[in-house]
Structure 1
Amino acid sequence: MPVYKNETAKKNQWYYSFQAKDSSGKTKTYTKRGFRTKKEAENAEIAIKDSMNKGTYIQPSKITFGQYLINWLDARTDLRNSTRTGYEMIIRRHITPAPISQTPLSEINAMTIENFMKQVHETEYSDSFKRNIFKVIHKSLRDAERKLLILRNPASLISKPKVAKKEMNYWTEEEAKAFLQAIHGHRLRVIFVLAIHCGMRMGEIRGLRLSDIDLKRGIVSVRHIMDSERNLQIGTKTNAGNRSISLSPFVIKEIDRRIQAIHQERNLAGDKYEDQGFLVCTKKGRPYLKHNCRDIWVRLLKKTGLRQIRFHDLRHTCASLLLGLGVHPKVVQERLGHSSVQITLDTYSHLAPNMQQDAANALQDLLK
């Protein structure tokens, strides 16, 4: 193995150096320094030679960061459609037009990224979107490090953008009651019943199929999520999002009413009906686009005259009402599909102010 040690270097002494023919047939020396151990240098050399044999090798010094990002995203076959679309938009609209995209991949360093992120921070984008831009850079460079295209991920040396905690917005018991009563008889009332009573996300409700519903047992199985373009994706936002939700008699009745309406709509539409098996669908059986459901929500909210909140805040409303009733946070976590009870506690602990007092009183009663 042509791996060597530079005794004069103070640190990262190992390097590889070997000769091979390039794409034009000329013999060229390939050298890369800065490895901490002999094993790292050997692994890097093996990886380079392997990619050369496969014809996929691109000399890091000759590929720009922008070109690398495009190649990186194209090679990521494990991404959800919604995630891929989001990454593609960030790369195309926000990174590619910036000078950082023309910087050679091998020359990207912490200062380069800091300067780029400084410009991002000066925009009016939300804190979460700024963090998403940084996330794309960090993940792409992490993969470049793993593939030995760079020695170290420089984004790991930078603190990720902080997201300011927003004030939680949710309806009270009276507001939730008033809304559901005001839309009684609405064709798609089930959407809002599932959001308020079950804490389901919009994508989970839109992706809910009749085969996921067991009215006899009173259970809804959340197994899929539908993206904004009506693409049904297997699995939900997190592993814990794949869950079974117990239904109250009220919710069972509402779902059954919707199912009966689907049968009637199928008969009326006849051959024009596209039976795709979704609970929430048009009168001809097709699932709704995300913005269609959002438009319905906005219209109903305006019509009822209730306090303006986002559709997603109905999920917060579900959590706040449950915690206010003294339901254990672990049960709330499982119902909402959070990946851990810690997320539930961090997000909603302020909605259950009596928990600490109840604990103090309980211990007092035990020990007095």
Structure 2
Amino acid sequence: MPGKKHDHKPGIYPRGKDAKGRERWLIRYELPRDPSTGKRRQKAETFYGTKREAEKRLREILVQVDQKTFTAPSNMTVAQYMEEWLEKYRADHPVESTSDTAQSLITNHIIAEIGHLKLAELLPYHLDKLYQKLRKRPDKGGKGLSTRTVRYIHALTCSALERAVDLQLIPANPAAKVKPPKLHQREVKPLTDEQRDLFLQAARGSRFYNLFVVALGTGMRMGELLRLTWPQVNLAERTLTVINMLDDEDDEEVTDAKREGSKRTIPLVPEVIRALKAQRAAQAEEKLKVGPAYEDKKLVFANALGRLINPSNLRNRYFKPVLDKAGLPRDTHFHALRHTFATSLLRKGMDIKKVSAWLGHANAGFTYRVYHHYLPEKLDDREAERLNSFLFGGEDKKMAGNS
């Protein structure tokens, strides 16, 4: 091609057209000299569009270089970067089940599908198209993942690429410009006191009776319960530490109200402590029975071999049969146990800030928006007397009247 021998100089060079008929240009530019060696540094990138658009792109690069805001494209692929990011994620998230989930989602869906792309060439379009594919049914060429799972993949990807921006590997985060699939929420009604008692009575003898008690007594999400490990439980202090996660069972909006990776501590009431002690004893017997085949991952609630429980199995094989036995609607959502925890406390006048913290919400305002219609509008006689004493010094007046 004429002039190609001068292509080593900064400038714009034609490269013909691609298979789609788009004009292709080589944009070559100079960066500041290497600070350690003093050598000149040149970079190049391929651009598709008109000559005028290519010239505009070169001007943008030169301005960014001058302002020291330019990030030069590298040959690193999405797979290479994501694998490095997962190593850091695992180091930052010592709870094995949490990092295992991230590893599985990123490896099986991001690396497997778009890992071959260069990190510098990753576009919002690629991610948007991938999310669509992940949600399609398998018979339509997709993977049939739930909306919440795709949203979790998006949250992880967005976090990973934000770090790539901080490391100056890419100039902007392509995931930040992609809208994850919208979560269509359905109302999840909490159990009444009577329904809760019927549920627990029906659950007695179930393999996961203790899990149901802990769910009702802590407000933990299903994913948090299934990934709970014994090091997170402190029976001596009567507390439990939860790694706050985006959860496939969660019907709340995925907003700042639920921040992936944050922690919260929940106080344990006597009934929950008894359930955890019973679970530890039952698990010890199971380990002895299974022997070397038992994989001890320190999970509080595991399957018969010590492995992570499949959420669908928990729902279909254990939760729904208990609902049937208790005479409760079969479409009752597992998340109703979390709502029952929250509404039971709020109906009894518990401070909404405490309830919000135990639920893992970022602020009490979000908790109020979700549960405000469960706050008591009327006071029972006992509560009215207690409030009266706060407002008008009822106890002091009684004592004065009796003297």
Same fold (TM over 0.5): yes
Deviation at 1:240, TM superposition (A): 3.2
Deviation at 1:314, TM superposition (A): 1.2
Change beyond 3 A, Cα 1:103–1:70: closer
Unaligned runs of at least 5 residues, structure 1: 5-14, 21-26, 49-58, 229-235
Change beyond 3 A, Cα 1:283–1:317: same
Q: Counterpart of 2:371?
A: 348
Deviation at 1:237, TM superposition (A): 5.7
Q: What is the CA–CA distance in structure 2 between the aligned matches of 1:253 and 1:114, rounded to whole Å?
A: 47
Q: What is the CA–CA distance in structure 2 between the aligned matches of 1:237 and 1:156, rounded to whole Å?
A: 16
Q: Counterpart of 1:297?
A: 319
Deviation at 1:136, TM superposition (A): 5.5
Q: What is the CA–CA distance in structure 2 between the aligned matches of 1:170 and 1:179, rounded to whole Å?
A: 12
8 Å contact kept, 2:215–2:338 = yes
Counterpart selection for 1:40 from 68, 78, 85: 68
Q: Counterpart of 2:54?
A: none
Q: What does 1:96-175 align with in structure 2 at a 5 Å threshold?
A: 96=114, 106=120, 108=122, 112=125, 116=129, 123=136, 127-132=147-152, 134-135=154-155, 138-157=158-177, 161-175=181-195
2:188 match: secondary structure: coil
Q: Could you give the per-residue CA deviations for residues 26-55 of structure 1, whole angstroms, max 9, x where no partner exists?
A: x983368244463515x85xxx7xxxxxxx
Q: What does 1:66-81 align with in structure 2 at a 5 Å threshold?
A: 68-76=77-85, 77-79=87-89, 80-81=99-100
Letter in 1 for 2:79: I
Q: What does 1:328-347 align with in structure 2 at a 5 Å threshold?
A: 328-347=351-370
Q: What does 1:283-322 align with in structure 2 at a 5 Å threshold?
A: 286=306, 289-291=309-311, 293-294=314-315, 295-308=317-330, 309-322=332-345
Q: What is the CA–CA distance in structure 1 between the aligned matches of 2:300 and 2:160, rounded to whole Å?
A: 38
8 Å contact kept, 1:170–1:314 = yes
1:90 corresponds to 2:109: yes
Q: What does 1:153-232 align with in structure 2 at a 5 Å threshold?
A: 153-157=173-177, 161-206=181-226, 207-209=228-230, 212-214=233-235, 219-222=238-241
Deviation at 1:213, TM superposition (A): 4.3
1:180 match: secondary structure: helix
Aligned length: 304
2:191 match: secondary structure: coil
- What RMSD in Å do the two structures reach over aligned CA positions? 4.8
Q: What is the CA–CA distance in structure 2 between the aligned matches of 1:81 and 1:346, rounded to whole Å?
A: 33
Deviation at 1:322, TM superposition (A): 1.8
Q: Counterpart of 1:326?
A: 349
Q: Could you give the per-residue CA deviations for residues 129-186 of structure 1, whole angstroms, max 9, x where no partner exists?
A: 4544554654454344334344333544555554344323432222111111122344
Deviation at 1:323, TM superposition (A): 1.8
Q: What is the CA–CA distance in structure 2 between the aligned matches of 1:82 and 1:118, rounded to whole Å?
A: 18
Q: What is the CA–CA distance in structure 1 between the aligned matches of 2:207 and 2:304, rounded to whole Å?
A: 10
Q: What is the CA–CA distance in structure 1 between the aligned matches of 2:280 and 2:172, rounded to whole Å?
A: 56
Q: What is the CA–CA distance in structure 2 between the aligned matches of 1:136 and 1:187, rounded to whole Å?
A: 33
Q: Could you give the per-residue CA deviations for residues 61-102 of structure 1, whole angstroms, max 9, x where no partner exists?
A: xx5xxx722112101123322122122233256x43xxxx77
8 Å contact kept, 2:215–2:221 = yes
TM-score relative to the length of structure 1 = 0.61
Provide the identity percentage: 23
Q: What is the CA–CA distance in structure 2 between the aligned matches of 1:275 and 1:92, rounded to whole Å?
A: 28
Radius of gyration: which is bigger? Answer: 2
1:354 match: secondary structure: coil
Deviation at 1:238, TM superposition (A): 4.0
8 Å contact kept, 1:34–1:151 = no
Unaligned runs of at least 5 residues, structure 2: 1-9, 11-28, 35-39, 45-57, 90-98, 138-144, 248-258, 392-403
Q: What is the CA–CA distance in structure 1 between the aligned matches of 2:107 and 2:272, rounded to whole Å?
A: 39
2:361 match: secondary structure: coil
Q: What is the CA–CA distance in structure 2 between the aligned matches of 1:127 and 1:271, rounded to whole Å?
A: 39
1:200 match: secondary structure: coil
Change beyond 3 A, Cα 1:163–1:34: farther
TM-score relative to the length of structure 2 = 0.57
Q: Counterpart of 1:30?
A: 43
Q: What is the CA–CA distance in structure 2 between the aligned matches of 1:202 and 1:188, rounded to whole Å?
A: 12
Letter in 2 for 1:345: Y
Change beyond 3 A, Cα 1:246–1:131: closer
